[in-house]
């Protein structure tokens, strides 16, 4: 799907883009891979990692800027939408700015992709969009709904939209593993709640889910990767075995357990070997038979959450991941 195509990644200088770009250039050989983002310094730093690759292009722009999107999308075949305001406290203190990027930016991109004849769009979502309790999650739920509805909004055009959803990425900047590594020498690791669990996904797995979505999508699906869970106390014990764990209390806007599929989604959710697929719940536009493709409908009342997950990451698996990614943890 990506070979010999022109691909544009919004927010492409973030954690996802730093994994997606080298892996996609190596595996699929796109004719052009465009990084669309608003931070010139991040683009300059990223460009230095690919000094002699003519396939990679950089385009300064913001998803809030509809006219700039129209220019950037000229001749583009495929789009990965990774741009977002995603830090929970930042969103709460700057709600108008979060809405402008996550909701209005999604609207701008949908309109521009349809009008410029983009073939397929995969938008990145988050566990926080499932039964949201903070503004960031609420804006991403709205964004998800917009992209799904974009398949009807496109009318006679051939542009198709889908969504991929996964939790916090292991080792990404600001996530729990680099934080625990940074404080372990102090002898104390703060734990918000000893019952807390989290899904564990690597950047590479997130990239592979996007690739799979491009290959499989009809339009209107939400793909949810099957990934293991881990208790935060166990995670801290592996990362900082000599440190004492201190319970500090759950933070505002934070969930005890991550959830990627809520009970309300179970009537339209299907299971596959490596992922789940949530189909449109209000209007399937006559396409559900094409979207299911051999999947098995989940049980009534099904919930995919980190505490009730059937797959758990072992201490050895986490040790192996840390050893393999030592130099990259917290870097992007």
- Looking only at the bridges linking them, the beta strands covering 259-261 and 304-305 are antiparallel
- 303: closest CA among 266, 278, 268, 270? 266
Q: Could you give the CA distance from residue 118 to residue 9 in angstroms, rounded to a whole number?
A: 13
Residues recognised as catalytic: 128
Task: Provide the token pair at 78.
Answer: 């495929």
């Amino acid at each position: 799907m990506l070979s010999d195509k022109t691909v544009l990644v919004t927010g492409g200088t973030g954690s996802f883009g730093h994994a997606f770009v080298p892996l996609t250039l190596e595996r699929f050989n796109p004719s052009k891979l465009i990084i669309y983002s608003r931070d010139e310094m991040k683009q300059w730093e990223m460009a230095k990692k690919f000094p002699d690759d003519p396939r990679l292009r950089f385009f300064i722009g913001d998803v809030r800027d509809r006219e700039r999107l129209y220019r950037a999308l000229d001749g583009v075949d495929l789009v990965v939408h990774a741009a977002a305001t995603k830090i929970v406290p930042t969103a709460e203190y700057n709600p108008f700015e979060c809405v402008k990027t996550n909701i209005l930016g999604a609207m701008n991109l949908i309109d521009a992709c349809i009008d410029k004849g983009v073939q397929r769009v995969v938008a990145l979502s988050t566990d926080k969009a499932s039964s949201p309790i903070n503004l960031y999650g609420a804006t991403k739920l709205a964004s998800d709904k917009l992209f799904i509805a974009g398949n009807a909004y496109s009318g006679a055009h051939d542009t198709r939209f889908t969504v991929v959803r996964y939790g916090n990425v292991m080792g990404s900047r600001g996530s729990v593993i680099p934080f625990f590594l940074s404080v372990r020498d102090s002898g104390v690791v703060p734990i918000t709640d000893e019952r807390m669990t989290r899904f564990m996904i690597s950047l590479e797995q997130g990239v592979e889910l996007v690739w799979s979505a491009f290959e499989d999508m009809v339009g209107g699906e939400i793909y949810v990767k099957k990934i293991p869970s881990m208790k935060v106390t166990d995670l801290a014990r592996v990362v900082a075995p000599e440190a004492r764990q201190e319970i500090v209390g759950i933070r505002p806007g934070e969930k005890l357990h991550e959830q990627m599929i809520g009970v309300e989604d179970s009537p339209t959710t299907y299971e596959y070997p490596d992922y789940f697929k949530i189909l449109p719940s209000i209007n399937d536009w006559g396409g559900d038979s094409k979207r299911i493709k051999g999947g098995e409908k989940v049980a009534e009342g099904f919930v995919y959450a980190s505490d009730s997950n059937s797959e758990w990451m072992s201490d050895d698996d986490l040790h192996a991941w840390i050893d393999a990614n030592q130099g990259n943890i917290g870097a992007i």
